[in-house]
């Protein structure tokens, strides 16, 4: 079945540690996105990539890093520089026609808790 | 910033009632796209609808309907004869420019009681 997978579903991190969240899609989509959701709030864009080997910062990129070495994969690293990383992280993908019209489809999310 | 506002934080209705979720957006673009997503307790966002700014016709899909009014920058969502399974957080969003970035509203939590 086509879709977006994220792993792990739950992740616990000690302060000062870097952690990497996985996002994989088999929809053959060019564009991929990472969002952060805090309780009672909407989603905020962290990073996005419209093509392999290229990515751009979103609205809240500080303390995060990404890579896009393969079309189907867009891992997100939460570094120790991120001051308040406890949140729900959602990955999305879209066709990326370049017109801003594409529907984004979301994965099931990873809930990160810093202990 | 060009915001998307969902003024209703929480709505509670009894099953079979109709309910409307409001969405107001800001934009300087002449062409833009609007979206509604549903987030059930499992957390995954489920796509419901995409609407472009040139198409102001109302849309109906089963018990769901959407009213897009460009003059008031609103894109409201109505659920007719609500069911317990409709309980979720609903997000309105607008696509920004040519990057496909989505600007989300704060979400409206809908609780449908039996």
pLDDT along chain A (115 residues), means of 10: 89 91 96 92 92 94 96 96 92 80 92 92
pLDDT at B91: 97
Residues of A whose CB is below 8 A from B10: none
pLDDT at A39: 86
Rounded mean pLDDT, B73-78: 96
Task: Tell me how crowded residue B26 is: count the other CB atoms within 10 A of its CB.
Answer: 12
Instruction: Report whether pLDDT(B98) > 90.
Output: no
List residues bridging with A70 in a β-sheet. Answer: A73
pLDDT at B21: 98
Nearest-by-CA chain B residue for A34: B101
Q: Do B100 and A111 touch (CB under 8 A)?
A: no
Contact B51, B73 (CB under 8 A): no
Residue of B37, B43, B100 with shortest CB distance to A100: B100
């Amino acid at each position: 079945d086509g879709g977006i997978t994220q792993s792990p579903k739950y992740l616990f991190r000690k302060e000062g540690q870097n952690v990497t969240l996985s996002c994989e899609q088999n929809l053959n989509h060019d564009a991929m996105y990472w969002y952060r959701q805090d309780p009672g709030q909407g989603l905020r864009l962290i990073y996005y990539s419209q093509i392999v080997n290229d990515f751009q910062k979103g609205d809240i990129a500080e303390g995060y890093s990404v890579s896009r070495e393969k079309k189907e994969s867009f891992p997100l690293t939460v570094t120790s520089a991120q001051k308040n990383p406890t949140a729900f992280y959602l990955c999305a993908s879209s066709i990326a026609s370049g017109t801003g019209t594409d529907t984004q489809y979301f994965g099931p999310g990873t809930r990160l808790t810093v202990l | 910033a060009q915001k998307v506002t969902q003024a209703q934080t929480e709505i509670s209705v009894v099953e079979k009632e109709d309910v409307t979720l409001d969405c107001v957006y800001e934009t300087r673009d002449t062409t833009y796209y609007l979206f509604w997503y549903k987030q059930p307790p499992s957390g995954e966002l489920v796509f419901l609808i995409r609407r472009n700014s040139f198409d102001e016709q109302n849309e109906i899909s089963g018990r769901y309907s959407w009213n897009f009014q460009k003059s008031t920058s609103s894109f409201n969502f109505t659920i007719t004869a609500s069911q317990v399974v409709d309980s979720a957080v609903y997000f309105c969003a607008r696509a920004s420019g040519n990057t496909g970035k989505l600007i989300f509203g704060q979400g409206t939590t809908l609780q449908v009681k039996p």
